[in-house]
Structure formats: structure tokens, C-alpha cells
Chain A
Amino acid sequence: MAISREDVEYVAALARLELTEQETQEYTEQLNSILDYAAMLEQLDTDNVRPTAHAVPLHNVLRKDQVNESIPREKALRNAPDADEGFFRVPKIV
């Protein structure tokens, strides 16, 4: 299998996910089957194809450097689990 249990545990840790034994097993299988499916692409000759940077054939979508109004602070803080004196407040970081 291309993806090992350790890979799944590692990615879960990076994503701050706590997985049960059963979930780890399940996801290992599922992720492998996704990769197997995508592996079909390897049958194609892509030697002269540039890696795709974006799925939509667009480039240079730009805007002018022009100030727009920001939103009121009460609105910005409305969904914050905790806020104080106009700041978002977060628990201990390290």
C-alpha cells in the first residue's frame, strides 16, 4: 500500500485530528483507494505537459490598489468565541 498507517497518523497529527484505532484503519484504506484511482493518470504520457497550476485557464486576475471600507469591529468580533477590548482572545499558544 502506498499510504501506511504511520502516514495517516502523521497527517492526522498535523491536522490536529484525534483518530480512533478503527478510523485510522478505515482512512488508510480509503486514502489508498483514492490514490489507486488517481494512479490511472500514470498510464498517460505527460512528458510534454506542464504541471497544472490552476484548474481554470485564467491568469492575472488583479484589482486596483484602492481602499474599500472595512467592517465595523463589533461585526468582526461577533463570531469570536472570546473577545476583549476589541481584541480576539485565544488560549495559551505554546
Chain B
Amino acid sequence: MVIADKYEMVCGLEVHVELQTKTKIFCGCTTEFGGEQNTHVCPVCLGLPGTLPVLNREVVNYAIKAGLALNCEIAEFSKFDRKNYFYPDLTKDYQTSQFDLPICGKGGLEIEVDGEKKWIGITRAHMEEDAGKLVHSGETITTSYESSVDYNRAGVPLLEIVSEPDMRSIPEVLAYLEQLVQILEYTEVSDCRMEQGSVRFDVNVSLRPIGATTFGIRTETKNLNSFSSVRRCLEYEVARQARVLDAGENVVQETRTWDEGKGITLTLRSKEEAHDYRYFPEPDLAPLVIDQEWVEGIRKTLPELPVARRARLQGLGLSAYDAGVITSGKAMADYFDTALSYYSDAKTLANWVMGDVTRLLNSNQCSVADSPISAKQLAELLELIDKGTISGKIAKSVLEEMYSTGKDAKIIVKEKGLAQISDEGALLGIIDSIIAANPQSVEDYRAGKDRAIGFLVGQIMKATKGQANPGLVNQLLKQKLS
């Protein structure tokens, strides 16, 4: 991004994602969200003296799976370390994390912005424990005189995914995040519920004069929890840094916090007080040795990833845009694929899924995973249109009926007598009566006004409650009038 034609932005991201295990990383407490405060705790996750952590095997499995999906090297040997700092959301005064030997090494993913493809590198990904949750007495942490702590989240497993400083614009950052979250969702290592804080972002950004080859001084804004916060934070921070540089001053290297309400970033702590974490190997946990067999076993469980899925759908005739919408969420993509196994016209199917089905779901605030119309039922409805049993227009009302009753299309069509009238005898009777009732239109048509036939067709459709076969009506009407 060029800011006032002077600066280029350089951005790297740290993404913390909660892994979808049943229990915490080092103890058997549940990871379930939304429990009453301090009810999902035990001596281990409360950091009581004399307790010992034991690593959850599923955390390692998920970390390997995410790493493979992000093209990372999986370390044969990896270990945990203590990251020491004092903060009341930590029970032990250190966070159990991974320092120099993380489970996932270099990887990356490809993004596309305005048709241009770009590789964004991933430096590493490591396992660590989440901290507890603080509730401040005041509006912000700095205006609070005390805080309340809930340790239900303390010890929930996290994977921290660190990118290279490869992004040069806000659209690139958002494309990277969307890709990343999609991959995490597709691999089912996380539920990726951002509104519940399952994914959180730290944004590192600096500016440099265009053409410069070294990086400028960066700031890190911590704990953003939505794509829109990341976008707004970057817009603010880039403009702020540009003003500092324009004034001939230096950006201060510091950690900042995002004020969602005001839409600004604020100093949290500067480099002078920066934490020296004094990492050292965690003596309470044995190292991890991951052999090829373990990795390959997990590789076999990898699903078709978003990029591959989009390519396949485009191969079936979908536009890049449609393929992007269908694959934007795993639930939607799965719904589409299931329907596709019963109904082969991908383009028609995509139109229905993205159009009427999505509209119905949205207006009922229902997720596609909970859709009362199954993928198979949708496919059956489309079959009825193709066979000429019902028109596309009738199908839309049948779909709504399916949504509210959960019944199959065939049953609704039968119960309501919605089947298309394709019986020539029946149609001719109706056509005759419409012709008799509209002499002016008949005269107009015969005088060469082609549009008049549209009015007559409309009247016939109305008389049949839309059930007349429109093609047949057109054909018969023209025969009658000629």
C-alpha cells in the first residue's frame, strides 16, 4: 500500500487459535466455552504448588494437522519452555509455551489479491496454553482500580501461528487471514468462532519510504478478535505512523492496544519496559519426538483444502467468484458437495445455494450446518424443475415450504397440487377463455405488437396460479393466434 505516495507498509501477523480439544492442554478440565466463572479449573490449571502438567495427545495431533495444512515442516524433536512474566491472567507467573524448538517450522500459504497471487511465509507455529480472562472494573484496563479473574480459559490449548513480514497492504493482510482461518476451519483443528475469542490476532506493522530495502520501526497491536478490527486497526496505525514520520520523528517501538469503541490504538508498554521473558526449558514436561509414521498418519486425515476445492468447483463450471463464496465456509462447501452427489448441474445448484437457500437461512438467522432443508432435499427439488414437474418460480415457494415444514419437495408438490400443467387439453381451455376476455391484446398482437403476447401469457399463468408449463403456453398461444 502506498501512503501518500511516500511510504510502503510492512506487516506480519501472529494468530492465536484455540484448538478444538475436549480438555485443556495439560489437565483434564473441559475446554467448553461459557461455563460459570472458575468452574472449569483444577489444581493443575490453577498453578497450585506440587502439581504436574501432562500433555494432551490431541493437542499435538491438531498442531501437526494444522502445520501440514499450512505447508509447515513438522519438527522431529520439539519441547516446551517457560515464558516468564507477571500478569494476573497467568496462574503460574509463567506461560508454558514453546521457544526455540516449536512443533511447526517454516511454511506458508498462497493468497490472491486483485487476481495477483502471492506467497505469504509462515515462520513457525507453536503450542502453548491460553491465559485466564480478566474483567476490569473500569471501562479500560488503565482506568480500572481492580480486576476480576476467571481461569476457565487458563490452559485451553492454543496454536500460535507466526507469519513472515510479507504483507504489503491491508487487502493482503485480510486475504491472508481469510485463507488461514478457512484452512483452520476446514481441517477442524478449531471451531474458529471469533465472537467467542477462538481466534485472536496480534498485528505487527511498520512503514518505510518507497524503495527502501530495510524495514522501519514497527509497533505491535495485541489481541484483536475480528477481521474488521484488524482492518480498522491497520488503517489507524498506518495513518498514525505516517504522521509521525512526516513530522520528521521516529516511530516508537512498542506494544499497543486497540480501543474498539474509539477506533484507535494506544500505548500499552514501550520497548524500554519490554518484557524480557527469560525463557528456559520446562522441566515438568518431557520433550516430544514425532516420527514420520505419526506425521503420515495425520496427513491421511487432511481434507480437501479450500484452494483445491475452489479449483475443483471452477472445473465444474463455476465462476471464480461463485467458487469463492461456496468455499468460504466449510459447512457451506460440504452442503454444496453433498447436494452435488445427487444433482450434477453445479452451476444451477450454486445459484440456488447462494441465492434462495442462503437468503432463507440468513433471514432465519440459521447456519447452513443447521439448515432444515438437507442437501439431498434441495437436489430433489432441482430434479423436479429439470423434469418439468414444477416451474422454477413454483420451486421457490416449494423451497420456502420445505424450510418451514422440513418436508420433501415431492410431498409438498403433491399435497398442494403444484405440479405443472402440461396437459394440452387443459391448457387450451384456459387459453381460449383468456383470449376471449382480452380482445384488445389479441388485436394488438395481430397488429404486430409482440409485447402483447407477454401480457396474455401472464394472464394464463395467473389463471393457473403459475402452474402452467410456460413453454407450452407460449407455443399453444402462438398457434391459436396465428
Contact = CB atoms under 8 A, between A and B. Distances in A.
Interface of A: 10, 14, 16, 53-56, 58-71, 73, 76-77, 84-94
B21 A65 contact: yes
Interface in B274-315: 276, 278, 281, 283, 285-289
Nearest to A55: B283
A93 B22 contact: no
Nearest to A79: B48
Given A53-B79, A88-B151, A90-B149, A65 B22 contact: yes
A92 B145 contact: yes
Contacts of A53: 77, 79, 101, 281, 287
Interface residues of B, number: 53
A10 B276 CA distance: 10
Contacts of A85: 37, 148
The 8 tightest CB contacts between A and B, nearest first, are A68-B28, A87-B148, A65-B58, A62-B57, A58-B286, A90-B88, A88-B149, A61-B286
Contacts of A56: 286
Interface in B1-44: 21-23, 27-30, 36-43
A49 to B, nearest CB: 15
Nearest to A58: B286
A contact face: mostly helix, strand, loop, or mixed: loop
Interface stretch (B134-142, B207-215, B332-340, B341-349): B134-142
Contacts of A66: 22-23, 28
Contacts of A58: 286
A16 B87 CA distance: 12
Contacts of B151: 76, 88
A90 B86 contact: no
B148 A89 contact: yes
Given A87-B37, A90-B146, A90-B147, A60 B23 contact: no
A58 to B, nearest CB: 4
B255 to A, nearest CB: 11
B54 A61 contact: yes
Given A53-B79, A88-B38, A62 B60 contact: yes
Given A63-B57, A68-B27, A88-B148, A93 B141 contact: yes
B457 interface: no
Contact of A14 (B30, B148, B150, B278): B278
Interface string B147-164: 111110000000000000
Interface in B354-379: none
B86 A16 contact: yes
Contact of B30 (A63, A67, A91): A67
A63 B286 contact: no
Contacts of A68: 23, 27-29, 42
Interface string B105-148: 00000000000000000000000000000111000011011111
B46 interface: yes
Contact of B42 (A59, A71, A84): A71
A66 B57 CA distance: 10
A38 to B, nearest CB: 14
Contacts of B144: 92-93
Contacts of A86: 36-39, 150
Nearest to B30: A67
8 contacts: A53-B101, A59-B287, A62-B55, A66-B28, A84-B148, A86-B38, A86-B150, A93-B147
Given A84-B148, A87-B135, A88-B151, A77 B38 contact: yes
Nearest to B145: A92
Nearest to A84: B148
A70 B40 contact: yes
A56 B79 CA distance: 13
B474 interface: no
Nearest to A82: B146
A53 B22 CA distance: 29
Contact of A70 (B42, B84, B278): B42
A62 B145 contact: no
A87 B137 CA distance: 12
B453 to A, nearest CB: 68
Contact of A59 (B21, B29, B268, B288): B288
B328 interface: no
A46 B283 CA distance: 22
B56 interface: yes
B54 A63 contact: yes
A61 B57 CA distance: 9
A64 B281 CA distance: 24
A94 B147 CA distance: 11
Contacts of A67: 22-23, 28-30
Interface string B161-194: 0000000000000000000000000000000000
A33 to B, nearest CB: 21
A80 B42 CA distance: 14
B57 A89 contact: no
Given A59-B287, A92-B144, A76 B57 contact: no
A55 to B, nearest CB: 7
Contacts of A76: 38, 41, 46, 151
